[in-house]
Chains A and B, each alone.
Chain A
Amino acid sequence: MKEKTNVVLTGVGGQGVITAANILGKAAVRAKVNVFVSEVHGMAQRGGSVNCTVRMGKVSGPLVASGTADAVLSMEPIESLRYIGYTNKNTKLITDITPVIPFTVSVGTEKYPPVNEVFKELEKYTNLYKIDATKIAREAGAIITKNIVMLGSLAATDVLPFDKKILLETILDNVPAKFKDVNKKAFEGGFKAIKK
């Protein structure tokens, strides 16, 4: 097993990035793996770009150095490119394919690049895995489980220093009983999207 595991989670305020990072952190504690998580709160949260990091193993703080991410989980295409500095050639970058248009674009002052160009650009730097997490979440029964879909996809890589089962158990322990099925479906959906 690797000494250190660095995961970066990105997206837009409201997509559940912080919740996903928190769950990943709890799963590490459950697996008895040393862990630190960093979050964004306050002014940075209102509709803005959100970036959390989770570090596991022989680490002493939550911030990830440039070029050292083992995985990037992005709930939005350009948000993965915004944090491309964290990646290297071996990083596994998983992104949802659905853009969330910033109001700077809606009001016409800035432009959202064509999504295919974003993907092409991402492939220049790292290993890209595109998934339609929005669709998978909707099929699972609730669009808000998109963050759980993303965690499922992460579990399908070889990045995590603990078993997929531990992550799923942690998720199910942290959602109300009536939403357990939906979250399980979302997680498995994300897993299958990577491990076809």
Chain B
Amino acid sequence: MEIIESKPDETILLLGNEAITRGALEAGVDVATTYPGTPSSEIADTFSHIAKYFNKKSKKTPFYFEYSTNEKVALEVAAAASFSGLRSLTCMKHVGLNVASDAFMTYLYVGTRGGHVIISADDPACHSSQNEQDNRYYALFSSCPMLEPTTPHEAKEMTRLAFEISEELHSPILLRTTTRLNHARGAVKLRKPLKPREKGHFEKSPMLVTTPAVARIRHPELLKMLDKAEKISEKSRFNEIIEVGNPKDWGIVTSGVAFNYVKEAVDDLKLDIRILKLGMTHPLPKKMCKDFLSQCKKIIIVEELEPILENQFKAFIYEIGCKVEIYGKSTGHFSRLFEYNPDIVFEALSKIFKLKNPILKPENSALVLPSRPPALCPGCPHRATYYAAKKAQPKGVVYPTDIGCYTLGKEKPLEMADLLLCMGSNAGTACGLAVATDQKVISFMGDSTFFHSGIPPIIDAVHHNHDVVITILDNRTTAMTGHQPHPGTEFDGMGRPAKKILVEEVVKGCGVELVEITDPNKIKETTEAFKRALEFKGPAVVVSKSPCILLENRDKRKRGEEVFVYEIDQEKCKQCKLCISRFGCPSFYYDKDGSIHIDDQQCNGCGNCTEICPFDAIHKKGVRK
């Protein structure tokens, strides 16, 4: 465990997310909470691994960590720790802050005692997200101070110092990152070791109960805090001016990972320019920015996604009454879409300075390559559930889906995903479809999503007697983000035994009258369960229970059990292609002669194909090597 065992002053390679965790440990964080979501997950996973490491060594973990039920709960748990005087951290993906936003917006009115760092991991280009919202707006929206790191080392340092800023201002602070920081590795120089976990004490104060009267008192205080934050921003070592060559008229304003591309482009293009690199981006150091403007005649703003710096700099120019020209999104030199990269920044700067772009347009082969989209793994129980549900009623059903591996059911040949907004939306939209149409509705969500935000819409369905079938794909883990535990698992994020909450018990408790509990690996029985659920008038829930095949096989290996692989008896196979064209397990393939086979290396041994084959042509081959 290098991140813990390395000595202070040592330099080690860390993922941006690991660096954030390390920074929090160097600041002596006491409570850390999260709901997992790419690209933030490894921040929390690192806390989890460290807690388990301490457990294993029978040492006391220097912090408390939990995978909370959802982001809002995560924020509330950590906020209470902060009110009790402890340093706390909450991390989530950008859309997670939407979930937590109800608590977040008012939290700023209340303020903190112990430092509280909230990490929003944004995902420009939607590498694994349903949108690419720019959460810097949340800083402006809520009046929350914000830091934006450019490299893993800076992420560690910013996290460490963010606790101090948070305490000085009595305000939570946002550390806003993007995928290219979260999932970039770089050399990180470590600092002082950890300190043991402390217990806090909650001091009562009427100002902690946000009644309207209190809110009216707190809002002016919030604005005063922002003024104080601006003074910190003016002096922050994270805001700096870098002079390249002999700068005259031109300046570049940039933040986050965009700085990395700017720096190399400016060096390679041999520009004479000054760069204002902003690390504390809310509130901006107004004086520093205005001084920078007074030195320039033309500035280029390089920021990914929304024109947030650009609009603020336009306001500064108006306030100063100067005539500095701005090149950015509003002039069409940069896009509001997706993430930037060296190609984009080299191209834009070459164009602005009328230089030959040293980066050539990438060549593309004329050869057509097959795509390799992500797919449900061979042996994934979700595939079996989807297959069984489709069998129950093959046509005319709408399938609202949700956020998780099972979203991949959208792809051919299953095509079992028709509507998706956000975490938990499957059941809510199912209710709406039942009201608005006469179409049959079967919705799908995972078990972690069920606990996160899937329960309220089920209650809505029960209370209003919506005629829907809601499916919970219970694979006993949060699979897509890296197999984190959730309230339905028997261990928590620190590796301690935890009370396992059964999905079906919760559903019954919500008043659902028809609850079908099924094992998707028994496809015929599962189809029958879906048929009964579809026939039922009113809300019915199918809980399809089978562990994630990756975890199942890992556990089997640990227990010394064997994983079997399957093969097709070519004598019996009539090449009806059902296994490929309907079931779609990626371990099946056509050989050159058109015969169908199973790839040993890919088969995970679920054996579900033996049940779907109408000719009984698939059987166990042997133990997987």
Q: How far is the CA of A175 from the CA of B240 in the complex (A)?
A: 41
Residues of A within 8 A of B480 (CB): 42-43, 46
Binding site for A on B (CB under 8 A): 11-13, 15, 38-39, 41-42, 127-128, 150-151, 180, 183-187, 257, 259-261, 263-264, 341-343, 346, 359-377, 405, 408, 412-413, 480-482, 580-581, 584, 586, 588-590, 599
A85 interface neighbour in B127, B363, B412, Cβ under 8 Å: B363
Q: A29-B187, A65-B359, A103-B584 are in contact. List 4 more A-B contacts (CB 8 A).
A: A39-B183, A61-B151, A61-B263, A101-B589
Q: How far is the CA of A36 from the CA of B580 in the complex (A)?
A: 41
> Can you spell out 6 A-B residue pairs with CB atoms less than 8 angstroms apart?
A35-B186, A38-B183, A41-B41, A61-B151, A63-B342, A66-B359
Q: How far is the CA of A125 from the CA of B367 in the complex (A)?
A: 13
Q: How far is the CA of A48 from the CA of B376 in the complex (A)?
A: 11
* A81 lies within 8 A of B359 (CB): no
Given the interface pairs A43-B480, A107-B580, the reply to whether A113 lies near B367 with Cβ below 8 Å is: yes
Residues of A within 8 A of B263 (CB): 60-61
* A46 lies within 8 A of B377 (CB): yes
Rounded to whole Å, the gap between the CB of A70 and the closest CB of chain B is 15
Number of A residues near B (Cβ < 8 Å) is 60
Q: How far is the CA of A65 from the CA of B150 in the complex (A)?
A: 18
Residues of A within 8 A of B362 (CB): 66-67, 84-86
* B13 lies within 8 A of A67 (CB): no
Residues of B within 8 A of A47 (CB): 372, 374-375, 377, 586
Residues of A within 8 A of B341 (CB): 63, 65
Residue of B nearest to A63 (CB): B341
B370 interface neighbour in A29, A45, A105, Cβ under 8 Å: A105
* A35 lies within 8 A of B187 (CB): yes
* B365 lies within 8 A of A84 (CB): yes
Q: How far is the CA of A121 from the CA of B260 in the complex (A)?
A: 33
Residue of B nearest to A46 (CB): B374
Rounded to whole Å, the gap between the CB of A192 and the closest CB of chain B is 25
Q: Mark A137-158, 1 if CB is under 8 A from B, else 0.
A: 0000000000000000000000
* A67 lies within 8 A of B359 (CB): yes
B180 interface neighbour in A46, A62, A64, A82, Cβ under 8 Å: A62
Q: Mark A101-127, 1 if CB is under 8 A from B, else 0.
A: 111111111111100011001000100
* A66 lies within 8 A of B365 (CB): no
* A62 lies within 8 A of B184 (CB): yes
The answer, yes or no, to whether A25 is at the interface (CB within 8 Å) is yes
Given the interface pairs A63-B180, A102-B370, A106-B586, the reply to whether A36 lies near B359 with Cβ below 8 Å is: no
Q: How far is the CA of A29 from the CA of B263 in the complex (A)?
A: 22
Residue of A nearest to B373 (CB): A48
Residue of A nearest to B360 (CB): A67
Q: How far is the CA of A105 from the CA of B15 in the complex (A)?
A: 34
Given the interface pairs A41-B38, A60-B260, the reply to whether A106 lies near B580 with Cβ below 8 Å is: yes
Residues of B within 8 A of A28 (CB): 13, 187
The answer, yes or no, to whether A59 is at the interface (CB within 8 Å) is yes
* A61 lies within 8 A of B260 (CB): yes
Q: How far is the CA of A149 from the CA of B350 in the complex (A)?
A: 40
Given the interface pairs A47-B375, A64-B342, the reply to whether A121 lies near B367 with Cβ below 8 Å is: yes
